[in-house]
Amino acid sequence: MQEDRTFADFGLHPDLVRGLADNGITHPFPIQAMTLPVALSRHDIIGQAKTGTGKTLGFGLPLLHHVLAPGDAGFADLAAPGAPQALVVAPTRELAVQVSGDLAKASTHRGIRVLTIYGGRAYEPQIETLAKGVEVVVGTPGRLLDLAAKGHLSLAHARTVVLDEADEMLDLGFLPDVEKLLALTPAGRHTMLFSATMPGAVVSLARQYMTQPTHIRAMSDDGDDRQTVAAVEQFAYRAHAMDKVEMVARILQSEGRGRTIIFTRTKRTAAKVADDLADRGFAAAPIHGDLGQGAREQALRAFRNDKVDVLVATDVAARGIDVEAVTHVINFQCPEDEKTYLHRIGRTARAGTTGVAITFVDWDDMPRWGLINKALDLGYPEPEETYSSSPHLYEQLNIPEGTRGTLPRSARTHEGLAGERLEDLGGPESRGSGRGRGRSGRDGARGGRSGERGGRGGASEGRREGGNRRRDNAESQGEQPAAAGGQGGRRRRRTTRVPGSSRGAATTD
């Protein structure tokens, strides 16, 4: 039976199979089972699957299978032993870290050296590691190009190249950088392109840089062709800006809730919602573009280690957060479009689990929501007007009767962000990070934000990773006046210019 096949049945290197088994992974998901036979024969691939269905191992295992590790027969005979043999390009730092972690776990017994390269960290450790030798490099376009231009990174021997979340790279303006990176790799490389959606620009990129690619599209077992994951139970409510935080606080006390990600459109809203929830007793942490890399990684580690169970994020975190037991995703602000909606709710119901996605729709956002609902056929053309006291909110989301907007002291069992160390990464942001402490000792969350702003000025990767910066700048210009609940009634576009400031070049993800 196809369903009974294990990774060992595909002819993978035994050490890779053993590394997967050590992590409790023995049977492939559909996208992996479909990809492995084609990729192991080194045919170019365009892989498409719903987010959260296992694309990383779909390209990661063939990549690792064909890499020669130190000690392997033939390694010393390579043209440049220790030069990267494989390259994975990701649009965001968080996704690069997640992909690198998955590859490292799978290759534990192979001895393959995997290096993650992205902005916000000091150059020196990355340069030193490259000098010692690595087999696989995973990184974001900006820092990769910086190191290549300085002569520290050679891609001339990268026989396998993967573009992960290609549609997002195009959206963030990385197409020129991706083309430059591909030009640095051998002409006969094995190229794999993976994405949850497949717009025309991605198809054009594939035609230009790939050789007769095989298009693999993984469907669910029941033939469901909907773009959203069927295991996600979705709700939409027309909510009032002044009542949203109260609604969230009650939803967070629903029965069976595990880790939760709350998405906002603006950095200021993310910071304020996280602070408001912390004031109400919840272990919440923000992650957005105004935080230095150290503070962002601190928040993600706290989330993964269950010291924080509520992460409040802008869309920069919609890609790359692959954390177990995320049961709820809350769209505090309506997504910009259906693709953003898909990637947000894709943080839950991953790897065969189930989840709940809740979207708050402001009155002003009804036209935008109408387009999202129509494109995805969600069945909520007119979200029901809902308040924190609405009976149907309690009933639909399993909120215990009598729940109020403050977490009882007896339920405050998480350490919070202060329980996770803020690491000094030595990057440009570190010069300002950690100057202040937010209330309740939340390093890097509130007080740390002001300090990190001072250190963002000279980051060359800030100029490189222009797509993320553009998104952050758009967030800043579109921010809403602060009010209870983190929003005002009507958005006001505002741009502030500071003479002699370089902040615009440093607001980067």
- Looking at residue 207, its pLDDT comes to 84
Domain that holds residue 33: 2-217
pLDDT in tens, 326-342: 999 999 999 999 888 98
Domain end marker among 169, 188, 217: 217
Average pLDDT of the segment spanning 281-288 = 95
Q: Identify whether residues 29 and 79 lie together within a single domain.
A: yes
Tokens of 132: 């010692």
Question: Is there a single domain that holds both residue 184 and residue 271?
Answer: no
pLDDT score recorded for residue 229: 56
305 and 393 together in one domain:
yes
Domain membership of residue 226 (yes or no) is no
Side chain identity at residue 128, one-letter code = E
Mean per-residue pLDDT, 430-451 = 39
In a domain, 165, yes or no: yes
In this structure, are residues 289 and 475 in contact, taking their beta carbons and an 8 Å threshold? yes
Helices 338-345 and 366-376 cross at an angle (nearest 10°) of: 70
Write down the mean pLDDT value for the chain. 82
Res 55: pLDDT = 84
Q: Which is it for the CA torsion 465, 324, 425, 55, positive or negative?
A: negative
- % of the chain residues with pLDDT over 70: 78
Q: What is the pLDDT of residue 319?
A: 60
Per residue in 132-142, pLDDT tens? Answer: 999 999 999 99
Q: Coil, helix or strand for 282?
A: coil
Widest pairwise Cα distance in the chain: 71
Are residue 160 and residue 297 in the same domain, yes or no? no
Q: How far is CA 201 from CA 145, 175, 213, in A?
A: 22, 10, 16
**Of residues 277, 95, 460, 490, the one with CA closest to residue 285:** 277
Residues 46 and 145 both lie in one domain = yes
Average pLDDT over residues 165-190: 88
Residue 100 lies in a domain: yes
Average pLDDT over residues 161-181: 87
Residue 238 maps to which CATH number?
Answer: 3.40.50.300
Highest mean pLDDT among 154-163, 285-294, 341-350: 154-163
Contact 282, 260 (CB under 8 A): no
Would residue 438 count as lying in a domain? Answer: no
Q: Tokens standing for 353?
A: 């689990």
* DSSP label of 12: -
> Which tops the pLDDT comparison, 175 or 462?
175
Asked if 213 and 248 sit in the same domain, the reply is: no
The residue among 473, 468, 469 whose CA lies nearest residue 494 is 473
Q: How far apart are CA 393 and CA 396, in angstroms?
A: 5
Q: Which of 7-11, 328-332, 348-352 has the lowest mean pLDDT?
A: 348-352
Residue 143: what pLDDT?
95
pLDDT band, very low/low/confident/very high, at 52 (cuts 50, 70, 90): low
Mean pLDDT for the stretch of residues 458-462: 39
Identify whether residues 7 and 146 lie together within a single domain.
yes
Residues 263 and 184 in one domain: no
Q: Which residue has the tokens 């060359």?
A: 460
Residue finishing a domain among 150, 184, 217: 217
pLDDT digits (tens, 9 = 90+) for 400-423: 999 999 999 999 999 999 998 887
The DSSP bridge pattern shows strands 136-139 and 86-89 to be parallel
- For the chain, the domain total comes to 2
Q: Is residue 475 part of a domain?
A: no
Minimum mean pLDDT range among 199-213, 274-288, 431-445: 431-445
Residue with tokens 């800030």: 462
Region of 153 (left: φ > 0; alpha: ψ -120 to 50; beta: rest) is beta
Is the predicted pLDDT of residue 86 greater than 70, yes or no? yes
Q: How far apart are CA 216 and CA 205, in angstroms?
A: 16
Do residues 237 and 190 both lie within one domain? no
Domain membership of residue 83 (yes or no) is: yes
Please enumerate, as own/partner, the contacts of 18-24 that have beta carbons within 8 Å and a separation of 24 or more.
18/109, 19/105, 19/106, 19/107, 19/108, 19/109, 19/110, 20/57, 20/106, 22/105, 22/108, 22/109, 23/105, 23/106
> Are 143 and 264 found together in one domain?
no
Taking CB atoms within 8 Å and a gap of at least 24, the contacts of 199-205 are 199/167, 199/170, 201/167, 201/170, 201/175, 202/166, 202/167, 202/170, 203/46, 205/163, 205/166, 205/170, 205/175, 205/178
Does residue 438 carry a pLDDT above 90?
A: no
pLDDT, tens digit, for every residue of 474-505? 444 444 433 334 444 444 444 444 444 333 33
Mean pLDDT along residues 26-40: 91
pLDDT over 90 at 170, yes or no: no
Residue 477 in domain = no
Same structural domain, 399 and 358: yes
Please give the pLDDT value at position 50: 65
Phi/psi for 217 (5° steps) reads: -125, 115
Check whether 302 has a pLDDT greater than 70.
yes
SS3 helix, strand, coil % of the chain, rounded to 5? Answer: 40, 15, 45
- Domain assignment of residue 487, yes or no: no
Place 210 in a pLDDT band, splitting at 50, 70 and 90: very high
Measure the CA dihedral 299/344/182/188, to 10°.
110
pTM equals 0.69
Q: Give the pLDDT of residue 29.
A: 86
Contact 200, 172 (CB under 8 A): no
Give the list of residues 6+ apart from residue 477 with CB closer than 8 angstroms, or none: 493, 494, 495
Cα–Cα nearest to 492, from 471, 476, 470: 476
Which residue's structure tokens are 């209870």? 484
User: Are 245 and 213 contained in the same domain?
Assistant: no
